[in-house]
Amino acid sequence: MTQVEESARRRAPVVQMANRMAGIFVAIVLTAAALTWGIKYQLNSASALDDAIALLIVTCPCALALATPLAITVSVGRAAGRGMLIKGGDALELLATPATLVLDKTGTITEGTTALSTWIGPEWVQPLVLALEEGSSHPLADGFRRAFAHLAADAAARTVTDARHVAGGGLEGDVDGHHVRIGSPRFVLSGLGDDATSRMDATIREGLAGMERTLTPVYIAVDGVVVAAAGLGDRVRDDAQASLDALRAAGWRTIMLSGDSPDVVRAVGASLGFASSDAIGAASPEDKLAFVERLKTSGRVVMVGDGVNDAAAIAAAHVGIGVHGGAEACLSTADIYLTRPGLSALVELTEGARNTMGVIRRNIGFSIGYNIIGAAMAVVGILNPLIAAVLMPTSSLTVVLGSWYGKSFSRASLRSVS
């Protein structure tokens, strides 16, 4: 409830525009009332003052002022009920029209539940890996923990010191006096010298060459030598293909930006219909931030992610969206948080935003049309102050009902994605 109340206080540009329109409208109405009285008084009309007062009453800008913020408040509340927590109406307005949508892979497009598919190397390395990975929240660490669960007692007996997590790279630390480095090939090899690849065991090189392209390669180095490698896979979400197709059909350009191996990202991207140039791998947190900043120079950018690696890019995007299961740093910078797993909620969010803008346009159109007709009737003398006083709240009531019954995030208005 607190989040919904805070959301209502963040004003969208369309709300600010409506407020400016209301101010201009008041000035026009005051001028019209003065002219009505002046002209009719010169014509010795007995109703000059009544007509001017009726004009002021019937054109009260309450409906115009309510048209936009009320529709947004109703939409934000309904979205929250459907698992989409929106921090402000400004994000809704930006999502109403298609733009560039940048999505992280692990945990966003995929389930983030990683399984160890391939292990290349001696078994004595496995307890060292498990001991160092125990303190990590990364999905790849979960894959190692599940695969090596039978070694939990052995790993717990190991002494881990100076453990350090490198965002977008991996882990390193000392385990029983051995320096262990685990992570992406670039991260592991970067600290081992130029001849690290040539010193790699031939069995590991052959195993890596035969590894499936859809698996994420992880290198394990002990005391400066790559002694093992692993291939971990992450299952694509069931609703990913249908959701991405729906977003593209609506006009969104979709880009996948991941810290995983470029080969893995391209393979997953190809299976989901991403252009090869729009499936980008080996992106560090800094790379993601720079990529979003570059895209912003040519249009609106929406960033969707779940990890610490995505936090800076999410904060930099015009709209940042954190997905279910995301890290706290990611969610704190996001404008919107999707509490339901999967990408179907993202489709509902964009459709709901578009519907909300439709309700706003309808409300504004009605309030302006009502005021023009009411003003014309007052000027020609059809309305007296009493009738005008009865009609004035009717316009506001109509806007309230239009916002409440408008199809923004109502279940019937949103397409299901399966």
What pLDDT sits at residue 14?
57
List Cβ neighbours of 13 (8 Å cut-off, separation of 6 or more). Answer: 90, 93
Distance CA 335, CA 319 (A): 6
Tokens of 323: 């997905």
Residue 44 has pLDDT above 80, yes or no: no
With beta carbons less than 8 A apart as the criterion, state whether 220 and 265 touch.
no
Residue 6 has pLDDT above 70, yes or no: no
pLDDT in tens, 237-247: 989 999 999 99
3-state secondary structure of 337: strand
3-state secondary structure of 97: coil
What does the pLDDT average to over 287-300?
94
* Residue matched to tokens 């350090």: 164
CATH label, 99-110+243-346, candidates 3.40.50.1580, 3.40.50.1000, 3.10.20.30, 3.40.50.300: 3.40.50.1000
Q: How large a percentage of the chain has pLDDT more than 70?
A: 89
Please determine, looking at this structure, whether the domain spanning 113-235 carries the CATH number 3.40.50.300: no
pTM for this model (two decimals): 0.69
Neighbour-count burial of 268, counting CB atoms closer than 10 A to its CB (0-12 exposed, 13-18 middle, 19+ buried): buried
**Which of 6-20, 97-111, 346-360 is the least confident region?**
6-20
Q: What angle do CA 202, 207, 209 make, to 5 degrees?
A: 95
Tokens of 295: 């895209």
- Active-site positions read 104
With beta carbons less than 8 A apart as the criterion, state whether 56 and 36 touch.
no
Distance CA 33, CA 55 (A): 6
Q: CB count, 10 Å around CB of 409?
A: 26
What pLDDT sits at residue 414?
54
What pLDDT sits at residue 331?
67
Confidence of residue 15 (pLDDT cuts 50, 70, 90): low
pLDDT in tens, 61-94: 776 667 777 888 888 888 988 889 998 788 888 9
More confident residue, 4 or 384: 384
pLDDT in tens, 341-399: 889 999 999 999 999 888 888 888 888 888 788 888 888 888 888 888 877 777 777 77
Residue 417 has pLDDT above 60, yes or no: no
Distance CA 417, CA 344 (A): 6
Residues forming beta bridges with residue 231, ordered by sequence position: 118, 217
Question: Which among 304, 329, 331 has a CA at the least distance from the CA of 318?
Answer: 304
List Cβ neighbours of 262 (8 Å cut-off, separation of 6 or more). Answer: 280, 281, 282
What pLDDT sits at residue 56?
82
Residue 309 has pLDDT above 70, yes or no: yes
Give the pairing of strands 253-257 and 110-120. Answer: unpaired
CA atoms in the 13 A half-sphere facing the CB of 345: 23
Distance CA 398, CA 408 (A): 17
Residue 9 has pLDDT above 70, yes or no: no
With beta carbons less than 8 A apart as the criterion, state whether 146 and 116 touch.
yes
With beta carbons less than 8 A apart as the criterion, state whether 320 and 338 touch.
no
Domain residue extents for the chain: 2-82+349-413, 99-110+243-346, 113-235
Residue 101 has pLDDT above 80, yes or no: yes
Neighbour-count burial of 36, counting CB atoms closer than 10 A to its CB (0-12 exposed, 13-18 middle, 19+ buried): buried
User: Cα–chain-centroid distance for residue 108?
Assistant: 11
Distance CA 164, CA 172 (A): 5
